[in-house]
Amino acid sequence: MNTFLKTITFFLSIIPLMLTSISAQNEIDALRFSELDWQGTARFMGAGKAFGAVGADFSALNTNPASIGLYKKSEITFTPMTLSIAKNTSGYNKASSFGQSVKYNVGSVGLIFAMPGISSTLWKKFQIGFGYNRIQNYGRAFSIKSRNEGSTIGSVIAEAANELGLDYTTNMKNWPTEIYYAYNSWLISPLTNTTYEAEMENIDMEQFSTVTRVGGNDEMVFSFGTNYDDMLFLGATIGVPFINFSENRIYTETNDRNPDKKFKNIKIEDELSVRATGINLKLGINYQPFDFLRVGMAFHTPTYYGNVRDFFGRQMTARAWQWEEDNEGNLYKVNYDVEPQGPYSTNKFLYSLTTPLRAMANVAFLIQQRAFISMEYEFVDYSMANMYSLTHNFNEENTEILNTYGFSHIARIGAEFNLTQVFSIRAGYNYISSPYKDDINDGSKHYASAGLGFRTRVFYSDFAYAFMTSKEKYWMFDQDFVNAVNNKFITHRIVLTIGVRF
């Protein structure tokens, strides 16, 4: 393979090599777009999302479609406010940084038609429903600032330059942008014509990074259900999720304590934007053998995203010191900016993604139409995610998915108690186990919620507050060369729903 082809090959691969946290089309994307955080109506959120066997709530159509079979009346529901307040702590190299973001979105909109069953049979009702629920919120922002303890992104770039065998005595026109900036700012320096070392390795510097993620995954649902003798409830949902995700990442290294070194600073700014539309099928069943007990099961096929549109852009700047001589022959230091090599790096890519299937079991204990306690268990194997394209071989990425991810277990419990005929209170709790194998990362989540409801025969209004905590390790670049950032996230969510029955 000639030098030019090597350069092109490297250019396409250096993004995941250097900055794995934001890289596109790899195992990180596969997990990001496979994980779900069911949202929707305030009643659903307030009772811990454990509505699969309780039913008659629009958001439950995303989890157990058989819940639509519990509708006796038609309904219009609207969740105009889902307010998320996310706070985080990022610990890196003995320093901590704090951040906060506030996001607003519409949680759900739905319409259910409850129609008469077949006369002279035990098929009492048929139901049709459609609308949308938000099933994942990507909004999150955090920042990292600390001393580097000797690490530098120059170590990754020097290794990449050595793999390519680039010769600095020749024209640098075809050099990858990252290596060009690192070399000309003395972040890396030559050992021979074709080998390089990280000039700033083990040198005390400041590292700083900000990460801002926005967007969500909203799923359109088209559901059908039926009620047989108020004992057997069946349902199916066709789901059409829409991914809209963007991430901005800024990373800088600054030499602020070593005036004998030529390198001064480097800044890398990355923009990742992903848009995709998928399709899946959900099937559910609920059975009520006794007045006080209802049990159910649901199965979700994998979601197929056939045309994931991925755009990645990178901008870089770098600065170094150089010596200049005045008219009297005295040397003095001045800043110089590395001259841009050419257009900034951009990459547009199309690929397909299949997320894992899901299975869940539900049970609800009904207490004289005054209260309920419900429980759910959900199972998903994230190693089943798969990426592919006609123009790119995803064997390496799919192998990484198999090696990195595994089973995740989700447990939900919820309760509701009617204080009067029109007022009720709710509470719930969820535990989501880590999707990672072998303690590679954490990723587990805890969710607690409470809510209030006001309901008449025609109108209802519900309010919920939810609290979620999670942890994750984050690496600013290749984890073989830098310590992990320990992120802790706390999200407060306030939800309001209104609806009409007819």
Contact between residue 307 and residue 276 where contact means Cβ atoms under 8 Å apart: yes
Contact between residue 128 and residue 113 where contact means Cβ atoms under 8 Å apart: yes
- Which pLDDT score is estimated for 25? 73
List pLDDT tens digits, range 96-152: 999 888 999 999 999 999 999 998 899 999 999 999 999 999 999 999 999 999 999
Residues in the chain, overall count: 502
Is the pLDDT at 499 greater than 90? The verdict is: yes
- Which pLDDT score is estimated for 348? 86
- Which pLDDT score is estimated for 342? 65
**First vs last C-alpha separation in the chain:** 71
Mean pLDDT of 323-332: 71
Is the pLDDT at 2 greater than 80? The verdict is: no
Kindly indicate the confidence band of residue 3, based on its pLDDT and cuts at 50, 70 and 90: very low
Is the pLDDT at 159 greater than 90? The verdict is: yes
List pLDDT tens digits, range 469-492: 999 999 999 999 999 999 999 999
Is the pLDDT at 327 greater than 80? The verdict is: no
Is the pLDDT at 1 greater than 90? The verdict is: no
Q: What is the model's pTM?
A: 0.89
- The answer for residues whose C-beta is within 8 angstroms of residue 107's C-beta and 6 or more apart is 39, 40, 41, 42, 45, 79, 80, 81, 82, 133, 134, 495, 497
The closest of 381, 313, 376 to 345, measured between CA atoms, is: 313
Mean pLDDT of 353-359: 98
Could you tell me the domains of the chain?
A: 3-501 (2.40.160.60)
Rounded distance between C-alpha atoms, residue 373 and residue 364, angstroms: 6
Kindly indicate the confidence band of residue 343, based on its pLDDT and cuts at 50, 70 and 90: low
Rounded distance between C-alpha atoms, residue 86 and residue 101, angstroms: 5
Contact between residue 457 and residue 501 where contact means Cβ atoms under 8 Å apart: yes
List pLDDT tens digits, range 176-235: 989 999 999 999 999 999 999 999 999 999 999 999 999 999 999 999 999 999 999 999
- Which pLDDT score is estimated for 160? 95
Which of 85-89, 331-335, 351-355 has the least mean pLDDT?
A: 331-335
Contacts 24+ apart (CB under 8 A), 227-232: 227/69, 227/70, 227/117, 227/123, 227/124, 227/125, 227/126, 227/127, 228/122, 228/123, 228/124, 229/122, 229/124, 230/124, 230/288, 231/287, 231/288, 231/289, 232/285, 232/286, 232/287, 232/288
- Which pLDDT score is estimated for 331? 60
- How high is the mean pLDDT of the chain? 92
Q: Rounded to the nearest 5°, which phi and psi values hold at 262?
A: -75, -35
Is the pLDDT at 323 greater than 80? The verdict is: no
**Helical (H) or strand (E) element with 235:** strand 232-254
- Which pLDDT score is estimated for 281? 98
Mean pLDDT of 464-473: 96
- Which pLDDT score is estimated for 143? 95
- Which pLDDT score is estimated for 332? 66
List pLDDT tens digits, range 412-451: 999 999 999 999 999 999 999 999 998 889 899 999 999 9
List pLDDT tens digits, range 32-89: 999 999 999 999 999 999 999 999 999 999 999 999 999 999 999 999 999 999 999 9
